[in-house]
Structure 1
């Protein structure tokens, strides 16, 4: 009898447990599909997506207690993704975001996903120039986006939802690091690549401005499924993101502070803190600017003197240093020259010595009045203008055999311009003197600069290594040369142009920087090399010691007869060197429209 009672009680208990389980399952299903309940009824601007006003989301302690564990190896591909889906101008701060990603994350590829066919046509001339500069970033690739892949196009009407839809599709298929177009990366993301899925925290929720994911990460799959709600059939990514994070905290690593602003920013009233004050973001992996709230657009010249957190971030992204490096020290009165008045050229591979090469070389004789001209080469040039220069230079010219370097500090060097970069430093360490690229023309004697142990000129994105003045074995040149221990032959101007600028900020007492005297008359415009071939807006070059023409941007070769009639800066300088006067020498003028 007792055993029968026990059996009946057991059956009743089992039925009760089954009933509780069914109720629990039904409750969880209803709670996921109904409108989310919030702790607060007061409305706040939620900058999770920056698209609309919505209630503040609670942050459950469960999300803090159950965290995704770091893996044993990196699982997130080293690919950075940007998304651009609007016909709008490409501005300077967009360029900063892309440069910062390249500089600090060092991705294998930067993918720019867009449905815009010609990015350069949706803005002013400055926008076009910034886009052209963007395309020069190493490993940058435009990836056309032709429409939604996993859902109907009408589900993507909201611009912010569209961005998130594309982002989820892209990360599901490829994985990688997604960055909003106004996010500035500040340091390597390497340690974060060991997590399956990483997202950042903001005061009002989770920020989609920075996301790291491996392809088909479980959190991504849940996010996609939650977003495509089976009842509505519409894409609702922001609510879905928070719900997935609440339900599956073990599948996501949340960066509490690594991606968020450090200025106690609560909303639009505080947006200016970053642009007007000094806030330390040195511990951040990245920071989102929320630049859409900013009415003013800056340019490369203006950020040099901008005293704010944004100014430091912009300089770090663009110039490789948070401080703008200019030297105000001068040699003591009566100091003697420490840089020999010796001109050095580096000429690798056999090719013709053309008229513009002749003009530059002639300027070293007639303007600089060099004591010696050393031509370091593995193949002496030829042609009419080479023979003419040898006649003019006479005993000043010395041909010095120089083999092309194949490595530096054990790192392979295959690019000919990079070989020249290395050789010019090695030559100056040994001899000292004045190195000139073959498309540089001296317009004023460099005597005042020979008292500085090392001098370079500013370039748009660093220092111009096409003109270098150095004492033998100078301190800064040693620092500069030793930075090639980290040389990367795949990066075009990283070591040669960007790195010396960064080093100048760390060694300001060992380098003199000419702002516009050793590059071009108005180097503050990235495309100013085009202006010096035009009559319109001719530049004043009276203060300039030398002009680095970057002749490949022009390309056409000329002769003494043509330069008589060129009504532009090149014509003026060419006539000064060849004829002794910059004045026009004919009535029928020639100009270049391209």
Structure 2
């Protein structure tokens, strides 16, 4: 009888895991299965739980936002600092820009599904579509997810030994866990619980499921998540005083943090859009000083006239 009960229990667990894998987010049959062969358990050192795989999400974008110099700078910083065994770029359609062509030889393109719903709940907001793609990627492969505007300054090697890791985002009157940086083993318990809560997803609530909900879950399931303080990834924040501090002063020191979320949506038009390699090399700001080293990865024949052509394309 005990053997029968044990067998039924294992069968139930197996069915549950299979149902999560197949049904929580609809699987894309066109996924490059060769990636599965190249990323195996043999690539993970002893006791390391998280494979050193980078993930980026680029969902179908009705606004046709370009892949810019800032995105190239962020991806270059991560690839050259973390030195992943693989960098997976999950996209519906590949971007068309000079900067994407520069980074493309260093990545593997994975066809992402077109996200329209989660558990029957409609998904229309672009950022929420990206949330689904990133969580699906971490669930299936494990690894390190980064937004396309996250600069990386230090290796993440010491963060690969926990099941799941996120960092605090602390802004006036709000504290959360920002999903612009997530580190996870495949099917981490915290991630599984988080995904299950998408049964109650509301597309009109901008950041509850992506920032506030994981923070609330971390208080309830603290043994399943490693929470880093706000200076790990998300400091300075997106408030105007902080953006000005980073881009117009020479006072902030990034040396003690793993990464910096550049807050592309908040800071692009006023601060990030005007940046060029020449300006970064010659103007002393906190931001420029910390990213200069990544300009060494520009091609030797780089010509800043490219910026003019890219800007014309952006303004059409």
TM-score (norm 2): 0.72
Gaps of at least 5 residues in structure 1 are 1-333, 581-594
The counterpart of 2:180, out of the listed 462, 466, 474, is 466
1:524 and 1:546 map into 2 onto residues whose CA distance is 14
1:339 and 1:362 map into 2 onto residues whose CA distance is 21
Displacement of 1:389: 1.3
The aligned counterpart of 1:378 is 92
Cα displacement string for residues 156-191 of structure 1 (whole angstroms, at most 9, x for unaligned residues): xxxxxxxxxxxxxxxxxxxxxxxxxxxxxxxxxxxx
2:129 and 2:198 map into 1 onto residues whose CA distance is 12
Q: Count how many residue pairs are aligned between Structure 1 and Structure 2.
A: 242
The aligned counterpart of 1:569 is 286
Alignment pair present for 1:342 and 2:56: no
Query: Compared with structure 1, are the counterparts of its residues 434 and 526 closer, same or farther at alpha carbon in structure 2 (3 Å cutoff)?
Result: farther
Query: Compared with structure 1, are the counterparts of its residues 412 and 527 closer, same or farther at alpha carbon in structure 2 (3 Å cutoff)?
Result: farther
Equivalent pair of 2:88/2:109 in contact (CA under 8 Å): yes
Gaps of at least 5 residues in structure 2 are 1-44, 298-316
The counterpart of 1:441, out of the listed 151, 159, 162, is 151
More helix by share: 2
Alignment pair present for 1:546 and 2:259: yes
2:167 and 2:294 map into 1 onto residues whose CA distance is 22
2:246 and 2:221 map into 1 onto residues whose CA distance is 33
**3-state DSSP class of the match of 1:360?**
helix
1:492 and 1:501 map into 2 onto residues whose CA distance is 15
TM-score (norm 1): 0.39
Equivalent pair of 1:518/1:548 in contact (CA under 8 Å): no
Displacement of 1:517: 4.4
Alignment pair present for 1:578 and 2:295: yes
Alignment pair present for 1:496 and 2:210: yes
The counterpart of 2:129, out of the listed 419, 433, 446, is 419
Equivalent pair of 1:360/1:439 in contact (CA under 8 Å): yes
Displacement of 1:534: 2.1
Displacement of 1:569: 2.1
Displacement of 1:352: 2.2
2:236 and 2:65 map into 1 onto residues whose CA distance is 31
1:465 and 1:527 map into 2 onto residues whose CA distance is 23
The counterpart of 2:191, out of the listed 469, 477, 482, is 477
Equivalent pair of 2:238/2:263 in contact (CA under 8 Å): no
Query: Compared with structure 1, are the counterparts of its residues 527 and 477 closer, same or farther at alpha carbon in structure 2 (3 Å cutoff)?
Result: farther
The aligned counterpart of 2:37 is none
**How big is the alpha-carbon RMSD for the aligned residues of Structure 1 and Structure 2?**
2.0
**3-state DSSP class of the match of 2:247?**
coil
Q: Which aligned pairs between 1:43-62 and structure 2 lie closer than 5 A?
A: none
**3-state DSSP class of the match of 2:183?**
strand
Which structure's relative contact order is higher, taking Cα pairs within 8 Å and 6+ residues apart?
A: 2
Cα displacement string for residues 285-329 of structure 1 (whole angstroms, at most 9, x for unaligned residues): xxxxxxxxxxxxxxxxxxxxxxxxxxxxxxxxxxxxxxxxxxxxx
Displacement of 1:353: 1.5
Equivalent pair of 1:516/1:544 in contact (CA under 8 Å): no
**3-state DSSP class of the match of 2:70?**
helix
Displacement of 1:579: 3.3
Cα displacement string for residues 498-535 of structure 1 (whole angstroms, at most 9, x for unaligned residues): 01000000000010111034423445978523321121
Q: Which aligned pairs between 1:393-408 and structure 2 lie closer than 5 A?
A: 393=106, 397-408=107-118
Displacement of 1:409: 1.2
The aligned counterpart of 1:515 is 229
Structure possessing the higher radius of gyration over alpha carbons: 1
